[in-house]
Amino acid sequence: MLKHALRVMQVFRPKLLHCTPLQTLSIRGPLFTNIPVSYFSTSLPKHKKLEMPALSPTMETGNIQKYLKKIGDPITAGDVLCEVETDKATVGFEMQDEGFLAQILVPEGSKGVKVGQLVAVIVPKQSDVAAFANFKDSPNKQPEQSQAASKPASPPQQTPPPQQAASRPTGGALPKHSKLGLPALSPTMEKGNLMKWLVKEGDQISPGDVICEIETDKATVGFEVQEEGYIAKLMVPAGSKDIKLGTILAISTPKKDNVSSFANYTLDGAAAPAKTTQAQPAQEQQQSTNSDTPIQTVSQSGQRIFVSPLAKEFAKKNNVALEYVKGTGIEGSIVKKDVERFLQSGSKPEVQQQAAISSEQPIQQTTPPAEAKQQTKPATPSKPVAIEGNPYIDTELTNMRLTIAARLLESKTTIPHYYLTMTVTMDKVLKVREELNKLQKVKISVNDFIIKASALALKDIPQANSQWHGTYIRKFANADISIAVATDAGLITPIVFNAGSKGLGTIASTVKELADKAKANKLKPQEFIGGTFTISNLGMFGIDQFIAVINPPQAAILAVGKTSKRFVPDENGQPKVENQMDVTLSCDHRVVDGAVGAQWLQRFKYYIEDPNTLLL
């Protein structure tokens, strides 16, 4: 009997290696007493495999930086499982399902994880987690096959074989395809006009390609696709007007050989394949639905929008343009809660009201140059409305100006600003500066003292040297000071890295070099991207005091006014003249509390009014 049992285990060993032990029983017989034998099940509890998604349009592999969940933790839709470093940024892998994390198959710190590679497993019941303790990813998909084998087979007449369905594109199911619906390309858009197609049937498309030009209630913009494939069918002819949101404009398919199957395709004719999918298992039907109705994300700002699949789906259902939603996920990515917050903010009713007013009082609109630049091929501009007796010039916006506009709008509409103003005495700084400049080849400016004092104050009050990242606050060890520099093209903020460790002379030469590069438009990206704190100085223009807009994702910015002589009482109450300067600190209240901002200003004042501390 024992030999027979061992023989059975030897025969089925390849399968048993991928199975989970259910229980250990004892074989009893005339020759054996309590011989323990482990019995295995070739089926696992209901589960779902989580594969590495494409978190950017060009992502092929990613690095798993860290997991935010551990085995056994509950998961709800919208939770971030782990942080993944893509070719663009570090973003969150957001869940779309509820359940419990049963197994992590790719360890933290793994690099070069391919898109589609199995990363983790989740189960609907916490009691099922233990069954996956020894679960391993099998190249031959053994667990899935075993699971399918453990279920009762469906009657053949109810579920036609996939091969048979694929071979009947006209009478049965069509090849795999996606329907490209008209998205909301502006906040107030309810319908649009298809000006012209930039592709034809059979053309290959890639993420970022603009397939047509759509005239909205604001401007003519490009419809940018986010997937690869081939245009199988153009459903709406060029020149069509008043196309409602969600209307299917075109059909795409992943293989060029499938294009001919859609020659006679109509939306009415899509009913037959839809009925066929109802007979499929629920999981397959859901996958088919998802592939037929992909979410299209259109970027009017010319930049990629990083958004979770769940947020995309929710935004599409509510006709929300994602470029107007502030992301609070990792590295500013958009999650479902951000779209919900956008809808709850009242923007939608206000938008509808504006649209209603526009429909009651139609006016002739001029395509704004900012949005016209987003077109791949410029459309014929509408005739500007003339203003009698007042000549004007329309200046096309540069990408830099568009970026400035987008970031400042984002800052003022999403960051809860508050402002703190303090007056500092500059007599000692001016005296020390005069003495140092007698010895320095590169002249030291008042702004260099301000940079050094700010960096030391950030070291003393590190809460001000932080950034808001939606689900967490990132606190930095070094003070990387961004300096606002005005150029002909617009404002740019080159960075003095680790300014607290630099001397005044080094800071002076660094700032001069960066300012010259900025004005010559020769700054490298690494010289202006980043920064933990910003200084904006308008004192040289005679400005006494002002407030500045925070540079996201930073949490604070210091606005510096001019140094002026003022009468103040001395220790005896007699008037005396002092050189004074007003500074205003703008803070993000989500990161920097009022008391923390006040403490930072106190430390800044201490260093400025005793400049010898800056020389240590």
Rounded to two decimals, what is the model's pTM? 0.42
Residue 293 scores a pLDDT above 50: no
Minimal CA–CA distance to 376: which of 297, 298, 294? 298
Q: How far apart, in Å, are the Cα atoms of 610 and each of 427, 578, 579, 614?
A: 10, 15, 14, 8
Residue 166 scores a pLDDT above 90: no
* Residue 541 within any structural domain of the chain: yes
Residue bearing the bigger pLDDT, 205 or 19: 205
* Residue 314 within any structural domain of the chain: no
Residue 17 scores a pLDDT above 50: no
Partnered with residue 161 across adjacent β-strands are: none
| Number of neighbours of residue 421 by Cβ within 10 angstroms | 14
Minimal CA–CA distance to 331: which of 461, 152, 468? 468
Of the residues 66, 101, 132, the one at which a domain ends: 132
Specify whether 418 is located in the same domain as 553.
yes
* Residue 292 within any structural domain of the chain: yes
* Residue 170 within any structural domain of the chain: no
Domain that holds residue 9: 2-41
Integer Cα distance of 44 and 98 in angstroms? 18
Q: Which residues are CB-neighbours of 43 under 8 A, at least 6 positions away? A: 146, 147, 149, 150
Query: What confidence score (pLDDT) does residue 152 get?
Result: 41
Q: Which residues are CB-neighbours of 561 under 8 A, at least 6 positions away? A: 538, 539, 543, 544, 545, 546, 581, 582, 583, 584
* Residue 88 within any structural domain of the chain: yes
* pLDDT tens, position by position, 494-542: 999 999 999 999 999 999 999 998 888 788 878 888 899 999 999 999 9
Specify whether 504 is located in the same domain as 608.
yes
Of the residues 304, 331, 366, the one at which a domain ends: 304
Burial label, 253 (beta-carbon count in 10 A; 0-12, 13-18, 19+): buried
* Residue 128 within any structural domain of the chain: yes
Specify whether 462 is located in the same domain as 481.
yes
Residue bearing the bigger pLDDT, 166 or 314: 314
- Mean pLDDT, residues 412-427: 96
Specify whether 275 is located in the same domain as 419.
no
Query: What confidence score (pLDDT) does residue 249 get?
Result: 93
What is the share, in percent, of the chain residues with pLDDT greater than 70?
Answer: 71
Instruction: Provide the token pair at 609.
Output: 């009014």
- Mean pLDDT, residues 367-392: 51
Residue bearing the bigger pLDDT, 325 or 610: 610
Specify whether 487 is located in the same domain as 602.
yes
The owner of tokens 């501390």 is 613
Catalytic residue among 427, 516, 589, 610: 589
* Residue 364 within any structural domain of the chain: no
Helix (H, G, I), strand (E, B) or coil at 75: strand
Instruction: Provide the token pair at 451.
Output: 């940079």
Half-sphere exposure in the Cβ direction for 249 (13 Å, CA): 32
Helix (H, G, I), strand (E, B) or coil at 129: helix
Most confident segment among 17-21, 62-66, 164-168: 62-66
Core vs surface per residue 437-475: b (16+ CB within 10 A) or e: eeeeebebbbbbbbbbbbbbbbbbbebbbbbbbbeeeee
The owner of tokens 């800052």 is 411
- Mean pLDDT, residues 307-313: 80
Residue 395 scores a pLDDT above 60: yes
Residues 490, 600 contacting (CB under 8 angstroms):
no
Residues 482, 535 contacting (CB under 8 angstroms):
yes
Integer Cα distance of 215 and 197 in angstroms? 12
Residue 153 scores a pLDDT above 60: no
Query: What confidence score (pLDDT) does residue 8 get?
Result: 46
Residue 72 scores a pLDDT above 80: yes
Integer Cα distance of 247 and 243 in angstroms? 7
Query: What confidence score (pLDDT) does residue 197 get?
Result: 95
Residue 186's pLDDT band (boundaries 50, 70, 90)? low
Q: Which residues are CB-neighbours of 431 under 8 A, at least 6 positions away? A: none
What Rg do the C-alpha atoms of the chain give, in angstroms? Answer: 32
Residue bearing the bigger pLDDT, 386 or 504: 504
Give the range among 108-117, 139-148, 160-169 with minimum mean pLDDT: 160-169
- Mean pLDDT, residues 268-280: 39
* Residue 11 within any structural domain of the chain: yes
Query: What confidence score (pLDDT) does residue 90 get?
Result: 77
Specify whether 8 is located in the same domain as 78.
no
Burial label, 120 (beta-carbon count in 10 A; 0-12, 13-18, 19+): buried
Partnered with residue 578 across adjacent β-strands are: 566
Residue bearing the bigger pLDDT, 193 or 10: 193
| Number of neighbours of residue 87 by Cβ within 10 angstroms | 12
The owner of tokens 């005069």 is 434
Residue bearing the bigger pLDDT, 147 or 323: 323
Specify whether 476 is located in the same domain as 501.
yes
Specify whether 120 is located in the same domain as 56.
yes
Query: What confidence score (pLDDT) does residue 123 get?
Result: 92
Residue bearing the bigger pLDDT, 337 or 283: 337
Cα three-residue angle 298-301-303, rounded to 5 degrees: 75
Residue 481's pLDDT band (boundaries 50, 70, 90)? very high
Partnered with residue 579 across adjacent β-strands are: 565
Specify whether 437 is located in the same domain as 502.
yes
> How long a stretch of residues is the chain?
616
Give the distance from CA 401 to its chain's centroid.
Answer: 21
* Average pLDDT score, the chain: 76
Minimal CA–CA distance to 581: which of 600, 599, 603, 564? 564
Minimal CA–CA distance to 220: which of 228, 212, 209, 231? 212
Helix (H, G, I), strand (E, B) or coil at 21: strand
Of the residues 266, 289, 304, the one at which a domain ends: 304
Query: What confidence score (pLDDT) does residue 384 get?
Result: 52
Residue 270 scores a pLDDT above 50: no
What's 115's domain CATH number? 2.40.50.100
Residue 194 scores a pLDDT above 70: yes
Going by the DSSP 8-state scheme, the letter that residue 467 receives in this structure is E
Helix (H, G, I), strand (E, B) or coil at 7: helix
Specify whether 546 is located in the same domain as 581.
yes
- Tell me the one-letter amino acid at 215: E
First-residue to last-residue Cα distance in the chain? 86
- Tell me the one-letter amino acid at 207: P
Residue 163's pLDDT band (boundaries 50, 70, 90)? very low
Q: How far apart, in Å, are the Cα atoms of 409 and each of 264, 336, 344, 405, 538?
A: 47, 21, 19, 6, 21
Query: What confidence score (pLDDT) does residue 33 get?
Result: 35
Partnered with residue 39 across adjacent β-strands are: 23
- Mean pLDDT, residues 439-453: 91
Specify whether 517 is located in the same domain as 557.
yes
Residue 346's pLDDT band (boundaries 50, 70, 90)? low
What are the respective helix, strand and coil percentages of the chain, to the nearest 5?
A: 30, 25, 45
Residue 195 scores a pLDDT above 50: yes
Query: What confidence score (pLDDT) does residue 97 get?
Result: 82
Residue bearing the bigger pLDDT, 406 or 357: 406
Integer Cα distance of 468 and 406 in angstroms? 18
Residues 178, 294 contacting (CB under 8 angstroms):
yes
Query: What confidence score (pLDDT) does residue 219 get?
Result: 59
Minimal CA–CA distance to 584: which of 605, 606, 610? 605
Catalytic site includes residue 589: yes
Residue bearing the bigger pLDDT, 574 or 153: 574
Query: What confidence score (pLDDT) does residue 95 get?
Result: 86
Query: What confidence score (pLDDT) does residue 162 get?
Result: 33
Residue 317's pLDDT band (boundaries 50, 70, 90)? confident
Number of domains in the chain: 4
Specify whether 586 is located in the same domain as 490.
yes
Query: What confidence score (pLDDT) does residue 88 get?
Result: 63
Residue 142 scores a pLDDT above 80: no
- Tell me the one-letter amino acid at 565: K
Query: What confidence score (pLDDT) does residue 57 get?
Result: 64
Partnered with residue 178 across adjacent β-strands are: 252
- Mean pLDDT, residues 592-599: 96
